[in-house]
Amino acid sequence: MPEFCRTERDGRVLTVTLDRPEVLNALHAAANRELAGVFDAFEADPELWVAIVTGAGDRAFCAGNDLKVQAAGGVVEFAKSGFGGVTSRTTCPKPLIAAVNGVAMGGGFEIVLACDLVIASDRAVFALPEPRVGLAALAGGIHRLPRQIGLKPAMGMLLTGRRVSAQEGFALGFVNEVVPHVDLLGAAQRWAAQILECAPLSVRATKQAALAGLDAGSLQAAIDGRYEGIATMLRSADFREGPRAFAEKRKPRWEGR
């Protein structure tokens, strides 16, 4: 059983709850290793199509790296898949939804930025405060934030470590929806349900192509790119099921193959 998180399966959806509320769900080496295993299993499980990640308690999503452990001489260690098991997980084609229930600081915000959708409680607060403690946002924050909201707004956060509310995060563009705190998990599940209405291989192909296309030298190069997920989708049974269901005026029965 996981020690530093809780997991719950509900049909095709896996909910992962970071579970160190006594330290605002900050993560240390052992927690990072555990979460890497949890998300490895999610990525490999054909029965799971979407994951939601959130934090235990009402105060924090994740306060980032556990600096008290680091200050006491503890090892700063990430798994190959990065902080929280997700910030370097560049090959996962399945959608990840962050349900941000409170403080998302440092590595916690970097987990958020690594997710595909961000649903925020109206109590959520975001920041990359690493420069304030002699560090830097090295789990992807330095590079993801400018790509997601533009250089100048990102520099305004990166160079000051200032805190941003859920509402400002929505205005900046890294939050998809802000909801009342009590409605947070239900809202994240609603987004997951909308994803599950779509063909899973189409969703994965779309995610892969969209992210890979960002590395192309031009829009035309991205459009002309060859993407493994697209090829898999075109060969799938679901590629035939979708048009058939439309013609027969019924809901499609997705198989994920």
Catalytic residues: 110, 130
Q: Which two tokens stand for residue 158?
A: 């990166």
Burial class (CB in 10 A: 0-12, 13-18, 19+), 93: middle
**Bridging pattern class, strands 103-105 and 125-127:** parallel
Q: Which two tokens stand for residue 4?
A: 């530093």
- 157 backbone dihedrals φ, ψ, rounded to 5°: -90, -45
Q: List the one residue out of 113, 8, 91, 99 whose CA is nearest residue 58.
A: 99
- The number of CA neighbours under 13 Å toward the Cβ of 63 is 17
CA distance 220 to 247: 33
User: Which letter does DSSP use for residue 248 in this model?
Assistant: T
**Bridging pattern class, strands 103-105 and 60-62:** parallel
Sorted by sequence, the CB contacts under 8 Å of residue 70 that are 6+ apart come out as 76
Q: List the one residue out of 116, 104, 7 whose CA is nearest residue 65.
A: 104
- The number of CA neighbours under 13 Å toward the Cβ of 75 is 8
CB distance 107 to 78 below 8 Å: no
